[in-house]
Amino acid sequence: MASKAQIEQYEDQGYFIADDAVVPEMLPALTEATRRVADKVRSGEVVDKTDKIGTGGEGTAPVVIMGVMAPEFGEPIFSDYLASEPVERYVHPFLGEELRLGWVTAFAIQGGGYQCGWHRDFGAEERDGSYEVEMEILSRYRKNLLKWHMALIDDPCLWIVPGSQRRYRTDHEREVLISNKGVGDIPDAKQIRLKRGQTIFWNGNTIHRGVMPTGMEERLTLCGCLVKHQADDPSETLDERFRWRLADNVREALPEKVRVYYDRWKRLQIVD
């Protein structure tokens, strides 16, 4: 279970790192499955699109593969991982035991040069608001979920500004985030260096970025998330990145526990 120190670090700094949030025997299998998934996307055997997962199309060079749990990939280990005991041990202290579906996605990048500039994970929320606007967003946005990255190989790509999830941006941070479109250096930023098998649980409201350092030729990392479930949760507009999950074949491909998570998620979706 997440320790008191880890929970306090998450609340204060916006993250903590765990060494044991994946079943050891599952780690090599997840690594191999992620490589297979990436190879299928590159070859076009499986077409990973946010609206529909298909087969037999044009190959692409993947960055983030959203549909790894789709049956077209034939890799049930990803949904098994989402509901695994080590993941639950860390999620339950934050969200409780009643959960709904978040996601498992994969960063599977070959070749250097990947960069995702500084930002907060604000979705459609205002990104250049006043103090009052930004603090209101920080007080409520995505408070019902816990997300993480788990390194399948050593991963030094994530940078976080610790504690920034609790405060308004500085003038310099606004210059980088807004005027420079995420490009530049931010004082007190911390590079997160994950060893293979380590997991960082982190708050997307932090100011953060992703950068593959010079000389790094592959990134292989899983991104996971689970969401707190309550009986009176309001309906929500479908996140278009996950429209593919509405396909008729998805639910039956999931293990029993993840079907519960899926059903809770699907009941809330407002679909156009």
pLDDT digits (tens, 9 = 90+) for 1-45: 899 999 999 999 999 999 999 999 999 999 999 999 999 999 999
Is 90 exceeded by the pLDDT of residue 102? Answer: yes
154-173: pLDDT as tens digits: 999 999 999 999 999 999 99
Are the CB atoms for 116 and 157 separated by under 8 Å?
Answer: no
Q: How confident is the model at residue 148 (pLDDT cuts 50, 70, 90)?
A: very high
Whole-number Å distance between alpha carbons of 48 and 68: 8
Is 90 exceeded by the pLDDT of residue 93? Answer: yes
CA distances from 179 to 114, 131, 172, 173, 183 (A): 21, 17, 10, 10, 9
Which pLDDT score is estimated for 192? Answer: 98
Which pLDDT score is estimated for 113? Answer: 86
Q: Tell me how many degrees the CA angle 52-114-83 measures, rounded to the nearest 5.
A: 50
Average pLDDT over residues 86-109: 97
Is 90 exceeded by the pLDDT of residue 103? Answer: yes
Average pLDDT over residues 87-107: 97
Over the chain, what is the mean pLDDT?
Answer: 97
Whole-number Å distance between alpha carbons of 271 and 265: 12
Q: Which long-range contacts (CB under 8 A, 24 or more apart) does 127-130 make?
A: 127/177, 127/178, 128/174, 128/178
What are the sequence ranges of the domains in the chain? Answer: 4-270
What is the bridge-based pairing of β-strands 99-110 and 64-65? antiparallel
Which pLDDT score is estimated for 112? Answer: 84
Which pLDDT score is estimated for 272? Answer: 85
For residue 134 the two structure tokens come to 């930004």
CA pseudo-torsion sign 13, 15, 18, 21? positive
Which pLDDT score is estimated for 141? Answer: 95
For residue 245 the two structure tokens come to 């999950």
- Residues in contact with 1: Cβ distance below 8 Å, sequence separation at least 6, in sequence order: 89, 90, 92, 93
Whole-number Å distance between alpha carbons of 66 and 196: 21
What is the bridge-based pairing of β-strands 15-18 and 199-202? antiparallel
Which pLDDT score is estimated for 236? Answer: 95
Average pLDDT over residues 107-126: 94
C-alpha count within 13 angstroms, C-beta hemisphere, residue 168? 11
Residue with the larger pLDDT of the pair 272 and 242 = 242
pTM assigned to the model? 0.96
**4-270 belongs to which homologous superfamily?**
q2cbj1_9rhob like domain (2.60.120.620)
Which pLDDT score is estimated for 250? Answer: 98
211-263: pLDDT as tens digits: 999 999 999 999 999 999 999 999 999 999 999 999 999 999 999 999 999 99
